[in-house]
Structure 1
């Protein structure tokens, strides 16, 4: 599943093609995605695209009357192509622009979403989300309060979108390694010194991933439409059973919340 950096890189990739363009048609070949594509989305004809923003892993295409909300789910990806490009099997939704281009959603497993949010309202999926990890609202006071009474594993708390959005499995593994914290450690047992180290590590890890992705961004008018998921310099994720790059200890791998969790028993405590 694309994580926050990949979604942000997607936003950066599609924005130049959409912003200040006129949306002239919405083509829905398949409306049954994770949720039914609402009628309001299909009704947005001859409307200017004001901006393309992101909230957590959701992309928001701002129009005068509200926002089209896009979520890529497990297998979705976006591509900007000439609007007359023949559709393939899993090309479900096109947002057709006056420029002759179209933003096309391809989603093999149909776990993605295309939804609508009226102007001035907040969609229920966005209403209870925690702060953005790169914002000032995600600070030491917030993290300390969120961890204070939580007995759950620190990794699971970090991946709770009510605590902070977008710290998915890959980046939770990486940040906890860099901060020297065992992923299975109860959140309330994380020390103040560890919290002070963890906060900037989370921000730096995500910012670096976005920056790397941005420097290798593919042209979204290309056929595959994928945003050049950057070659990540992963230190623990996906490396279970391999030596720690810091101390040489064999990395352990367990399951937490049904997700693969890799750590170094020597470097993390």
Structure 2
């Protein structure tokens, strides 16, 4: 599933083509995604794109009349195409937005678990209203995170993936951040010292920024908007490396199941 860096990379790729342009009209080929495509999407005509931004793993297009909220689900991606290619599409190309600069914003989703909905107010949308602070926001500080974790008696990895605590992290970056912070994913959250939490907050910001610079991570289905695979996969230290040697100590990477998701770690470098 695309996480914060993949969504941010997508946003940066499409932003120059869409900002202050008009959506002339839309073509919806399949309405059956995670939620049905909003009826307002079908009726779009000459709506101005005022802004584009990200909330957690959600990409939001601010129009002069409401908002389009997009979630890439498990396998979704957005691409910019010239409008003369509008008749070239496949069964997984679900939505085209025709833009006033002779471009098309196309949403493709093999597994159809994404979202493409229209709302009056994005802040009240049920999947966004309960999101925790963004990792890059000033609210996500060591003091904030430590105050939350000291009340939790669950695994630290589960807290990292809890979108109401911190928004945007998923399985890939939770594993990687814990490795670089030297913390086992099985550590109980309220056992972390303030120093460990402060280091973890720093690492989270650093790893996410590094991934965004490289266009995110390509795992299975994710394709960056410009059709260039995310290159951060080259920098993965533990994720999907079960029984391979740790780059730091040569011990074998271990994999276990936590909350129905695979966790990867080195039990020598992490404690």
Q: TM-score range by the shorter chain?
A: over 0.9
Any idea what SS the aligned residue of 1:99 has? Answer: coil
Native 8 Å contact 2:69 2:122 kept in 1:
no
- Aligned equivalent of 2:96: 94
Match of 1:145 among 147, 165, 172: 147
CA distance in 2: counterparts of 1:15 and 1:227, whole angstroms: 16
CA RMSD after TM alignment: 1.7
TM-aligned CA deviation for residue 40 of structure 1: 1.7
1:37-59 per-residue CA deviation (whole Å, 9 max, x = no partner) reads 11122222111111111111111
Q: Structure 1 regions of 5+ residues with no counterpart?
A: none
Alpha-carbon distance in 2 for matches of 1:196, 1:182: 16
Deviation at 1:161, TM superposition (A): 0.2
* Shift in alpha-carbon separation, 1:12–1:227, aligned structure 2, 3 A: farther
In the TM superposition, residue 77 of structure 1 has moved relative to its aligned partner by 0.9
Q: Give the secondary-structure state (helix, strand or coil) at the position aligned to 1:125.
A: coil
Q: Bigger shift: 227-236 or 76-85?
A: 227-236
Mean CA deviation greater in 37-46 or 70-79: 37-46
Partner of 2:74: 74
**Gaps (5+ residues) in structure 2?**
217-222
Is the Cα contact below 8 Å between 1:6 and 1:227 reproduced in 2?
Answer: no
TM-score (norm 2): 0.92
Cα drift, residue 123 of structure 1:
1.1
8 Å Cα contact 1:66/1:118 also seen in 2: yes
1:133 aligns with 2:135: yes
CA distance in 2, matches of 1:219, 1:145: 36
Q: CA deviation at 1:120?
A: 7.3
2:215 and 2:224 in contact (8 A); partners too: no
C-alpha change, 1:203 and 1:120, in structure 2 (3 Å) is: closer
TM-score normalised to the size of structure 1? 0.93
The equivalent position to 1:117 in structure 2, one of 114, 119, 123, is: 119
Residues 115-162 of structure 1 show CA distances to partners (whole Å, capped at 9, x for unaligned) of: 112147521111000000011110012101211121111001110000
Q: 2:259: which partner in 1?
A: 257
State the partner residue of 1:46.
Answer: 46
